[in-house]
Amino acid sequence: MKNILAFGASSSINSINKKFANYSSKQIPNSRTNLLDLNDFEMPIFSIDKQKATGIPKAALDFKEHISKSDAIIISFAEHNGSYTSAFKNILDWVSRIERIVWCGKPMLLLSVSDGERGAKLVLDTAYNRIKRENSETLFKFSLKNFHSTFDLEKGILDAELNKIYKSVLMDFTKVI
C-alpha cells in the first residue's frame, strides 16, 4: 500500500484544488491518501530574523514529516495574481529552511485547476520549473480549465480530450510510485 500525500496549495476552505488533489489521489490503486489542509499549518510569515529569534515553527517540521513519510506527492496549485498562494509560499519558505531538498525526491504529480480558460497554468509552470531542479525524473503535471463545467466529483473529468490527457499523465505518475 502506497502512501500518497495530497493537498491543494490554497487556504480556501472550499478549495477546488484540494478537491482535485484528493480526487486524483483516489485514482491510484493500492494506495491510501493523507490529505492535508494548509490551514492546519499556519505560522508566522517567514523571515530570517524570525527564524533566528524563534527557530523553525513546529508546523513546518510537521509538514516536512508528512513529506518524508509519503511515497508520492500530489499538489494542486491555486493561482493568486499569477503565482503561488501566500499560504503555500510561506510553508515552502519555512520547510526549505529544514532541508534544501524540500520534496525528498518523491514522485510528484503537480496539478492546477481554475474556473478560467487557462486552468492556472502560469502557477503550474512556475511550480514545475522550480521543482524539476531537484526532481526531473518523476515529476508530472496537468492543468484543468473551467473546473465547474469540466469536472464532477463522482464522474471525474467530463471533457473527453482533457480526460484522455489526464489519464495518460496519471498512468505515467502511477508507474513510478
Q: Give the DSSP per-residue string, 26-63.
A: HTSTTEEEEEE-GGGG--PPP-HHHHHHH-S-HHHHHH
Q: Are strands 151-152 and 156-157 parallel, antiparallel or unpaired?
A: antiparallel
Give residue 134's pLDDT band: very low, low, confident or very high (50, 70, 90). confident
User: Percent of the chain scored above 90 by pLDDT?
Assistant: 90
The structural domain count of the chain equals 1
The tens digit of pLDDT for each residue in 71-109 reads 999 999 998 888 899 999 999 999 999 998 999 999 999
Dihedral angle sign, alpha carbons of residues 58, 133, 10, 72: negative
* pTM listed for this prediction: 0.96
> Which run of H or of E encompasses 169?
helix 160-176
Asked if pLDDT for residue 46 goes beyond 80, the answer is: yes
Query: Is the CB of residue 18 less than 8 Å from the CB of residue 26?
Result: no
How large is the average pLDDT for residues 140-166? 96
**Residue 5's beta-bridge partner residues?**
34, 73
Q: Which domain covers residue 17, as residue numbers?
A: 2-176
| Distance (Å, whole) CA 130 – CA 136 | 10
In the chain, the DSSP E strands lie at 2-9, 31-36, 72-77, 108-113, 139-144, 151-152, 156-157
pLDDT at 83: 86
Indicate the length of the chain as a whole number.
177
> Quick count: other Cβ atoms within 10 Å of Cβ 48?
8
Q: At 51, which amino acid appears?
A: Q
Among 171, 118, 170, 108, which Cα is nearest to 144's?
118
Among 36, 32, 42, which Cα is nearest to 15's?
36
| Distance (Å, whole) CA 39 – CA 110 | 20
What CATH number is given to the structural domain containing 27? 3.40.50.360
pLDDT at 38: 98
Under DSSP, is residue 163 helix (H, G, I), strand (E, B) or coil?
helix
Asked if pLDDT for residue 119 goes beyond 80, the answer is: no
Asked if pLDDT for residue 118 goes beyond 80, the answer is: no
